Amino acid sequence: MHDLVQNVLNSDEKTALRQFVSALNAAGKPYLLRNEILQVFADYCQRSHKPAYFYHSSSLGTLISLTHEIILEEESTWFMLRPWIANQEVWRLGADMTHFEKLTPKALLDVRDRLVNRYQPQILEIDLKPFYQGAPTIDDPRNIGQGLTFLNRYLCNQLENDPKRWLEELFQALHKLQHGGTPLMISDRLHSGDELALAVKKALQFVSELSPIEPFEKFRFDLQSLGFEPGWGNTAGRVRETLEMFNRLVSDPEPAILEAFVTRVPAIFRVVLVSIHGWVGQEGVVGRPETAGQVMYVLEQARSLEAKLREDIKLAGLEVLGIQPKVIILTRLIPNCEGTACNLRLEKLQGTENAWILRVPFADFNPNVTQNWISKFEIWPYLESFALEAERELVAEFRGNPNLIIGNYSDGNLVAFLLSRRLKAAHCNIAHSLEKPKYLFSNLYWQDLEDRYHFSAQFTADLISMNAADFIVSSSYQEIVGTPDNMGQYESYKCFTMPNLYHVVDGIDLFNPKFNMVPPGVNENIFFPYNQSEDRDKEARSKIHELMFLREDPSIMGNLENPKKTPLLAVAPINSTKNLTGLAECFGKSKELQEHCNLILLTSKFSPEQATHPEEAAEIEKLHSIINQYELHSHIRWVGIRLSNMELGEAYRAVADCRGIFIHFARFEAFGRTLLEAMISGLPTFATQFGGASEIIEDVDKFQINPTDYEGTAKKVLHFLDECDANPQYWHEISTRAIDRVRNKYNWSLHSKQLLLISKIYRFWDYVTPENREARARYLETLYYLVFKPRAEKILEQHMQR
């Protein structure tokens, strides 16, 4: 970057830089973000009659393209540059334009505080960087999110470089395996790595003489005499394969062999999925609209994990010990549950043998609050007491400690942090949708937003849990570090200020191998292709078709003038991020779209009176206003009725029956569960280019859309319709491609296999790594008690006045 900066200052482009800064000042905003910066530069180039190359490839043009923030002060212009993904640099340009100076992140945090008139010279600085030093690190940004692959290679290199030491480490790790006090895989007959290696050769010779299908129980005691306990396999053939993997791993370590061996190691039996605020239930209770996606994710993940654990236990030969897996979804019990099952302490998860929803009530600090549903922004004061009570309940249900605790969302991960510390379980952090990057400048103006959103507690909780976790699971690469043009969700926690509260100098190591991309699946019993006719209910099909296109109802707006036009479907809760108002306006402004399509909006609410907060009410009112403004009543169907999952699956298929299209017009989407549901139903799908959704959609040019570009979006949809008119098979080709994409990459079986493998690798990693995890955990506990807890207590004070 230094050479680029000097090229600007030491050439004729210095004049252009001076003029550009003047243009920035003329814009009248002291703080500009990337899109605004690029627009000002484009306008400057046009006014100054600069040649096209100047905008794209001059030194100044390159500098501007790497600039994500500019702050204007009287004596300085501050540039926050992002030379490449996951890397940020701070540069200050003096008023005399004679020098660019590279400064520390702390200097940028100070100037941000000054910008909002909340600067103070002495402030708490949070810096996690020292706790990651000395640990192996990923060096290529393209490999961020592939922690499992990195660790496999790293561990195999260690085995190769120091085989004697690592054989002993493997022995110790296997020797610790047990369930309920019963040893697994190896017994106390073996005392060292060398003895284990020798015993493996003897065991291989023994099982090679048996029939591959010989059941384990027939030769169990012969293996025990050699020092081996159950866990190697359920047949002689599988035991032999596992022993051969270990033998090969010791003699010729390769990542693929390590992964295959670790997959077979029985180390996970009891799993907790923590989902606190989501109104967690089953039939007709799958979350509130804003949390339905998370609740469905957790329910489906639990079913899939339980099935995978059961399969692994059987294949490992552990049925002879009577071992059964158990999965618990931990959530809160809500006494005033509006007729749902959310006041039941324990509920079996449908479709499983031993997975349960365990509900623990919040302590009754104030029954007027705690006996009702509590917003995700207000829940913080109750989490510590909840975790303590949940600990007792979990140990009683499991009759022991869990092996793995998976946190979901910010509050669930904070509880997972508290539980995993006390129960000595592995902590997996999953937070597909972090609030901080959703709300622009939410950290900078946190004090103005505190009464409504309590971001000080939430962002502190995020910092604690993401750093405390043994590993982090994301659905996409962009969720972690974004793109060259946009920061990722986790990257937004790297360096930020909460004026008058603290500075985060280094909040997360993005190159640490704790990050892993493990996308979710979709429930294929509910969401399946429209042409899978044998699985569709004729009565339900007819009922949903009438609802989507014909039925009159107080919660449905619009009577379609021509129901045979191509249906353009959107399914989303009504909020500013999902941007249904933007989609309606895009549709309203395009007469061509109206000529070719009907817009179908499927939401769970229809009137402002149904809203749970003012922002939602405002969006509902705005949507009504846009429909009236553009007179869309004969071109639109707004179905404001909450459908069950089965009905929703049929709704997608009803649109696919009509050769329709699905469109996801969100301003930002961390991943996009509805995309998977629509695609596997057979719908050609257009989705926002901002966020992880863009990784689901393969054809960037044709099916990724910019929700701020109404004209461009309309052109892409119309071009697709033209292609369908020119080639009658084109819709079917895209439909089939969408179905195959989801089935091959986004399925729960693959998700569970990867998640359990990662859990096992990281358990071994925790055992052998030199990284100082305990020191980091102590530091995070300090932040919890000295920063988070006082902020949560302030919320409780407000609640006690209700």
What are the boundaries of each domain within the chain? 2-103, 166-176+186-264, 270-487+512-519+751-800, 533-746
The model's pLDDT over 102-138, given as tens digits with 9 standing for 90+, comes to 999 999 999 999 999 999 999 999 999 999 988 889 9
For the segment 274-289, the average pLDDT, to the nearest whole number, is 78
Q: State how far the Cα of 125 lies from the Cα of 661, in Å rounded to an integer.
A: 50
Please answer whether residues 348 and 387 qualify as being in contact, where contact means their C-beta atoms are separated by less than 8 angstroms.
Answer: no
CA nearest neighbour of 558 among 628, 621, 608, 607: 628
Same fold, 166-176+186-264 and 533-746: no
For the segment 3-23, the average pLDDT, to the nearest whole number, is 90
The H or E element containing residue 724 is helix 710-726
Structure confidence at residue 630 as a pLDDT band (50, 70, 90)? very high
Give percent above pLDDT 90 in the chain. 77
In the predicted model, is pLDDT for residue 290 greater than 70?
Answer: no
Dihedral, CA of residue 335, residue 336, residue 340 and residue 346, to nearest 10: -10
Q: State how far the Cα of 283 lies from the Cα of 285, in Å rounded to an integer.
A: 6
* Cα→Cα distances 338→125, 342, 604, 706, 798, Å: 45, 9, 17, 40, 25
Please answer whether residues 145 and 474 qualify as being in contact, where contact means their C-beta atoms are separated by less than 8 angstroms.
Answer: yes
In the predicted model, is pLDDT for residue 791 greater than 60?
Answer: yes
CA nearest neighbour of 121 among 573, 622, 500: 500
For the segment 182-210, the average pLDDT, to the nearest whole number, is 95
Q: State how far the Cα of 301 lies from the Cα of 305, in Å rounded to an integer.
A: 6
Structure confidence at residue 443 as a pLDDT band (50, 70, 90)? very high
**Amino acid identity, residue 251?**
S
Beta pairing, strands 270-274 & 326-333: parallel
Q: State how far the Cα of 69 lies from the Cα of 36, in Å rounded to an integer.
A: 9
In the predicted model, is pLDDT for residue 286 greater than 70?
Answer: no
In the predicted model, is pLDDT for residue 770 greater than 60?
Answer: no
* Class of residue 209 by CB neighbours under 10 A (exposed 0-12, middle 13-18, buried 19+): exposed
Please answer whether residues 177 and 266 qualify as being in contact, where contact means their C-beta atoms are separated by less than 8 angstroms.
Answer: yes
Q: Which residues pair with 100 in a beta bridge?
A: 93
In the predicted model, is pLDDT for residue 760 greater than 90?
Answer: yes
For the segment 356-364, the average pLDDT, to the nearest whole number, is 94
* Cα→Cα distances 771→134, 135, 405, 470, 509, Å: 7, 5, 21, 12, 13
pTM of the model: 0.90
What DSSP line would sit under 331-352, residue for residue?
EEE-SS-TTSSTT-SEEEPTT-
Q: State how far the Cα of 355 lies from the Cα of 545, in Å rounded to an integer.
A: 35
Left, alpha or beta for 71 (phi > 0: left; psi -120 to 50: alpha)? beta
For the segment 769-797, the average pLDDT, to the nearest whole number, is 90
Give percent above pLDDT 70 in the chain. 99
Domain 2-103 CATH assignment equals 3.10.450.330: yes
Buried b / exposed e over 182-200, threshold 16 CB at 10 Å, is ebbbbeeebeebeebbebb
The model's pLDDT over 502-551, given as tens digits with 9 standing for 90+, comes to 999 999 999 999 999 999 999 898 999 999 999 999 999 999 999 999 99
For the segment 445-457, the average pLDDT, to the nearest whole number, is 95
**What's phi and psi for 598, nearest 5 deg?**
-110, 135
Q: Which of 61-65, 714-718, 745-749, 763-767 is predicted with the least confidence, judged by mean pLDDT?
A: 763-767
CA nearest neighbour of 261 among 145, 326, 138, 173: 173
Please answer whether residues 286 and 299 qualify as being in contact, where contact means their C-beta atoms are separated by less than 8 angstroms.
Answer: yes
709 token code pair:
């570009």
Residue length of the chain: 802
Cβ neighbours around 642 below 10 Å, total: 18
Q: Say which DSSP state 483 is in.
A: -
- pLDDT score of 642: 86
Report the top-level CATH class of 533-746: alpha beta
671 token code pair:
């991943």
CA nearest neighbour of 487 among 496, 362, 715: 496
* Class of residue 373 by CB neighbours under 10 A (exposed 0-12, middle 13-18, buried 19+): middle
- pLDDT score of 311: 96
List strand residue ranges (DSSP E) for 397-501, in order. Answer: 404-408, 426-430, 471-474, 496-498
Structure confidence at residue 771 as a pLDDT band (50, 70, 90)? low
The model's pLDDT over 16-40, given as tens digits with 9 standing for 90+, comes to 999 999 999 998 899 999 989 999 9
The model's pLDDT over 551-567, given as tens digits with 9 standing for 90+, comes to 999 999 999 999 999 99
The model's pLDDT over 692-745, given as tens digits with 9 standing for 90+, comes to 788 888 777 789 999 999 999 999 999 999 999 999 899 999 999 999 999 999
In the predicted model, is pLDDT for residue 419 greater than 80?
Answer: yes
Please answer whether residues 723 and 730 qualify as being in contact, where contact means their C-beta atoms are separated by less than 8 angstroms.
Answer: yes
The model's pLDDT over 457-515, given as tens digits with 9 standing for 90+, comes to 999 999 999 999 999 999 999 899 988 888 889 999 999 999 999 999 999 999 999 99
In the predicted model, is pLDDT for residue 280 greater than 90?
Answer: no
H helical segments located in 291-432: 292-315, 367-370, 383-398, 409-423
The model's pLDDT over 162-181, given as tens digits with 9 standing for 90+, comes to 889 889 989 999 999 999 89
Report the top-level CATH class of 270-487+512-519+751-800: alpha beta
Please answer whether residues 244 and 251 qualify as being in contact, where contact means their C-beta atoms are separated by less than 8 angstroms.
Answer: no
Q: Is the dihedral of CA 530, 533, 536, 539 positive or negative?
A: positive
Structure confidence at residue 287 as a pLDDT band (50, 70, 90)? low
Structure confidence at residue 604 as a pLDDT band (50, 70, 90)? confident
- pLDDT score of 54: 93
Domain 166-176+186-264 CATH assignment equals 1.20.120.1230: yes
Instruction: Give the chain's radius of gyration (CA, Å).
Output: 28
Cβ neighbours around 573 below 10 Å, total: 18
- pLDDT score of 97: 84
199 token code pair:
């015993």
Chain-wide mean pLDDT for the chain?
A: 92
- Of residues 673 and 61, the one with the higher pLDDT is 61
Structure confidence at residue 289 as a pLDDT band (50, 70, 90)? low
